[in-house]
Amino acid sequence: EAHGTGTAIGDPIELESMAAVFGKRPQNRPLIIGSVKTNLGHLEGAAGIAGLIKTVLALQNNKIPPHLHFQQPNPRFDWSSEIFEIPVHGKNWHSSERQRIAGVSSFGFSGTNAHIIIGEIAANSNRNFEHKFYLLPLSARSEKSLKELAKNYQCSFNESVNLADACFTASTGRAIFRHRLCILANSITTVQQALIDFQTGEDSENLITPISSEIKPNLVFLFSGQGSQYSGMGQTLYNQEPVLKNTLDLCHQILEPILETSLLDIIFELQNSDLLQQTQITQPALFAFEYSLAKLWQSWGIQPSALLGHSIGEYVAACLAGVFSLEDALQLVVQRGRLMGELPHNGAMVAIYADYQTVLEHLTPYKHQVNIAAANG
């Protein structure tokens, strides 16, 4: 997509530049060139975005539109090499084994020149991660604008819309303004109804509004200690959330040669539930899952102001705070679990709701048999 203003001097210079960059190509695969200015004229400050829109539409519709009003090639450029093709009648542009790629040029009068390269992306029809619910966030500068935005979404949403893609784009590809709403939904129909309810002022269990942007609460991540583990923990998240899956897989790769067993099999296989209760396995498993869960939250933009942990959870908090690397943390956790696993198994522990000094006095006659392991409070 050329700047292509149709001038006697400017066009040959642009053509020579393209020939210098793209000239070495097979004759049966010429570079197709055109300019949206033959359709719209020169839109000055909007000329560049018009060319980009045209090119995106060409990719979407598998067709390059005709270059209008072309009668005589500019004589100031040597066309004999036949490296360029001007689509005077339009041209089909279907996907093939080669990725379709286009360049868009725009040259400003002040000397500000821009060139953007865009290409098609293959639709991922084999998605391994499916959610039961999706969150659609919308925001605008005013309440009126938010209602207009809600109406636009309502009108554009139909059964052909991929709900996951729409929610992803709304969450990550849009500016965030003061007036906001969120919709929790599991179908396009649910989204449409919630948008209608917002416009009409009706209550909806799927609609979360108003959402204030004035208050930014401080968040704390608290990581639990041993005892919270169970067989199959996080299985649904592992199947649905790529960030958690990739992080847990990384922990598995680091731990496998150390533990000499599969962390994933221990966590997710019910027949391994007894293994998960062995402290030398429990501790690295809990660490890996808690660390992966925190990374998932952070990928959503949920950033903690403070990190706290109890027992094995302290190691997760320290690792996320940058005290040591993930590799070092897992090594520490494995050794900690092994040392604790070597202790005698005929002991017992009891939690007593009393102050430290009182308990200590009661234990004095039994000081060789009972000790205070920890004082929480």
Q: What is the pLDDT of residues 102-157, one digit of tens each?
A: 999 988 777 788 999 999 887 655 555 667 788 999 999 999 999 999 999 999 98
* Token reading at 137: 């966030």
Residues 203 and 224 in one domain: no
Integer angstrom CA distances of residue 183 from 170, 208, 249, 252: 11, 6, 32, 35
- Please give the residue that has the higher pLDDT: either 77 or 123: 77
Task: Confirm whether 5 is domain-assigned.
Answer: no
**Residue with the two structure tokens 């996951």:** 164
Please give the residue range of the domain that contains residue 152: 134-208
Of 166, 211, 227, give the one whose Cα is nearest residue 191. Answer: 166
With beta carbons less than 8 A apart as the criterion, state whether 30 and 20 touch: no
Q: Is there a domain that residue 346 lies in? A: no
As for how many domains the chain has, the answer is: 3
Per-range mean pLDDT, top range of 140-149, 167-176, 260-269: 140-149
CATH code for position 324: 3.40.366.10
Domain identity same for 280 and 198: no
Residues 230 and 329 in one domain: yes
Last residue of a domain, one of 119, 153, 180: 119
Cα dihedral across residues 289, 295, 301, 305: positive or negative: positive
| Model confidence band, residue 215 (pLDDT cutoffs 50, 70, 90) | low
User: Are 39 and 66 members of one domain?
Assistant: yes
Task: Judge whether residue 211 has pLDDT over 80.
Answer: no
Could you tell me the sign of the dihedral formed by the alpha carbons of 178, 183, 184, 187, in that order?
Answer: negative
In this prediction, what percent of the chain has a pLDDT beyond 70? 96
CATH number at residue 100: 3.40.47.10
Residue 54 φ then ψ, to 5°: -60, -45
Based on the fold, state whether residues 268 and 197 are members of the same structural domain: no
* Domain presence at residue 272: yes
- The token pair that represents 19 in the structure block: 């020939």
Last residue of a domain, one of 165, 181, 208: 208
324 assigned to some structural domain: yes
Q: If you average pLDDT over every residue of the chain, what do you get?
A: 89
- Which tens digits make up the pLDDT trace of 26-76? 878 889 999 999 888 888 888 889 999 999 999 999 999 999 988 888 888
- What's residue 72's pLDDT? 86
CA triple 318-322-326, angle to 5 deg: 80
- At residue 124, the pLDDT reads 59
Residue 11: pLDDT band by 50, 70, 90 thresholds?
confident
3-state percent breakdown (helix, strand, coil) of the chain, nearest 5? 45, 10, 45
Instruction: Tell me, yes or no, whether 224 and 337 share the same domain.
Output: yes
Number of CB atoms found within 10 A of residue 109's CB: 7
Last residue of a domain, one of 69, 84, 119: 119
Residue 176 reports pLDDT greater than 90: no
Q: Looking at residue 201, which CATH number applies to its domain? A: 3.30.70.3290
Distance CA(368)–CA(82), nearest Å, equals 96
Sign, Cα dihedral of 237, 242, 243, 249: positive
198 with 311, same domain: the answer is: no
Instruction: State how far the Cα of 14 lies from the Cα of 103, in Å rounded to an integer.
Output: 13
